[in-house]
Amino acid sequence: MDNNSSRAQEIIERPNESLSVELKRWIDPDTQEGIAKIVKTTLALRNHGGGYLVIGINNKTLAPDIENIPENLKEKFHIDKIQGLISKFASDPFEVLLEFPEKAGQEYPVIIVPSGVRTPVATKSELDFKGRKLIKTDMIYVRSLRANNTPSTTQASWKDWPKIVEVCFDNREADIGRFLRRHLGAIKPEIIGEFAAAVIKKNKPEPTNEDLLRRFLQESEKRFASIILERKLQLPDHGVWEVALIFVGTVPPHAANREFLNLLDSNNPDYTGWPVWLDSRAFKDQDSRPFVIDGVWEAMILSLETGWNDYDFLRFDPKGRFYIRRALQDDISKSQRAPEPLKALDFGLPIIRCAEAIAVGISFAKAMGCDAESTQLSYAFKWSRLRGRKLVSWANPERYISAWRSAYQDEVLSFINVPLETPLSALGDYVNKVVQPLFEIFDGFILSTDVIEDLTQRLIQRKLF
């Protein structure tokens, strides 16, 4: 199965409308209205830089549309028919692909629009229906966000032109590389590579802190998956909390030796009984002890004695990068008050854990000799397996919250930058910025900043327990 096919199947299995994915209920490509929808959407996706038009999925509920399923589906949505519509209406015709991924025995057409647009694609023909112009000539369609931040296909406005130009320019940069390979074949490959790299480097913007954090998250998630496979581990079903931390600034040289771990261990404030980025060298279970790979300390900590009651996957990079992956306490706690796994999220636990991660990161950076005035701590916080949970207060029953709010979104990714000179007394504002996007997926809930500040300070002052 190629990448397009696997992506189409993934969208059907877990539909999520975005600027690169358009979900449509069943439409008839033999009607004027159906033609207009297909043409406008595919042209908009092309101008966006490529994407997927999925037919047969309700864009509001993300559930399969069980009404008006056409017969002879592959004949109704034949590639020659769809390609013909695009060639008829697109000012710069482009080739599309068509896949029919299956879910619960039903196939769904997915029109795959490739990237590569170098000039905006406009409409070159009109389509009339009962006195209405469903498609006008010289129209440029784009993917954009409505006022409520949901994606849609619209006519391009002045606000859309910077993005359109950026997409076209990026594709023209790629053409430079193809030109060099095609016409300068007689020149040594290393010279061509150096020249192309210089051109791309000159025009390519420097990665942002968020770009670096996303890459570090992906790298760390791959390392976790590799260890799970290597050790043939079977973890219980659970949600996940992840933290990626990068020191932005000059990091004094350190090596992945025992002195480095000694430095971190002696400067971990240990605000809780199971602190973030703990040193597991003294654990009886040898598999839970840290090891070095590619200049980075890693550890997969499993509490076998308590029946998987705890697990952490940790990374300590002497270059100033730290990662932790932990099962949500709501799913693995042995407390009698604990909810059924995957059903709830205690609102206080994310606040405490995030506050601890920020405070420990500050302590690590200072211990490693980073300059307080010129160093920033860039954080990414990620929660997974949230969909269907209720927001509750089981771990801290003295703090009441009505348990009717539920999450529809499955993942939340939050970023913050914290100056190293930030005093611990000011961490509440940063914790608030981190956790509010998490709480918002629970029916738009907004937690009082006073509560966040109180829990943060209780952690710092070790008054939680």
Listing DSSP states for 130-150 in one string gives TTEEEE-TT-BEEEEE-TTS-
Contacts of 170 by beta carbon, 8 Å cutoff, 6+ apart: 49
Q: Name which of 43, 33, 60 is nearest 146 in CA terms.
A: 60
pLDDT at 104: 87
Binned at pLDDT 50, 70 and 90, residue 306 comes out as: very low
The phi, psi pair for 136, rounded to 5°, reads -105, 155
Q: Checking DSSP bridges between strand 102-103 and strand 51-55, what pairing results, if any?
A: unpaired
More reliable by pLDDT, 160 or 414:
414
The CA distance from 428 to 241, in Å, is: 19
Q: What is the per-residue pLDDT across 142-191, written as a single tens digit (0 to 9) for each? A: 888 765 556 788 888 887 787 778 777 776 655 555 554 554 555 555 66
Specify the higher pLDDT residue, 130 or 313: 313
Which residue type occupies 115?
S
Say if residue 384's pLDDT is above 70.
yes
For 182, residues 6+ apart whose C-beta sits below 8 A from its C-beta are none
Backbone angles phi, psi at 53, to 5 degrees: -105, 110
pLDDT of residue 67: 85
Structure tokens at 427: 């961490």
Torsion sign (Cα): 127, 93, 159, 21 = positive
Strands 51-55 and 21-24, by their bridges, are: parallel
pLDDT at 242 over 50: yes
* pLDDT for res 326: 95
**Helical spans, DSSP H, in 24-153:** 32-48, 73-76, 79-89
Mean confidence (pLDDT) of the chain: 88
Q: Which of 13-17, 282-286, 379-383 has the lowest mean pLDDT?
A: 13-17
Lowest mean pLDDT among 43-57, 187-201, 436-450: 187-201
- Residue that wins the pLDDT comparison between 246 and 154: 246
Return d(Cα 368, Cα 58) in angstroms, integer.
Answer: 52
Does pLDDT of 301 surpass 50?
A: yes
- pLDDT at residue 244 in the model: 98
pLDDT in tens, 16-64: 767 788 889 999 999 999 999 999 999 989 988 888 999 998 888 888 8
Can you tell me the distance from the alpha carbon of 325 to that of 276, in angstroms, rounded to the nearest whole number?
10
| Token pair listed for 227 | 């260890």
pLDDT in tens, 327-364: 999 998 888 899 999 999 999 999 999 999 999 999 99
pTM: 0.59
- CATH, range 3-156: 3.30.950.30
In the DSSP assignment, the letter for residue 424 is G
The residues pairing with 382 across neighbouring beta strands, listed in sequence order, are: 242, 413
- Give me the torsion for CA of 282, 287, 290, 291, rounded to 10°: 140
Neighbours of 58 (CB within 10 A): 16
Residues 205/209/214/220 CA torsion (nearest 10 deg): 120
Give the torsion through C-alpha atoms of 316, 320, 321, 324, to 10 deg.
Answer: 50
CA–CA separation, 294 and 110 (whole Å): 42
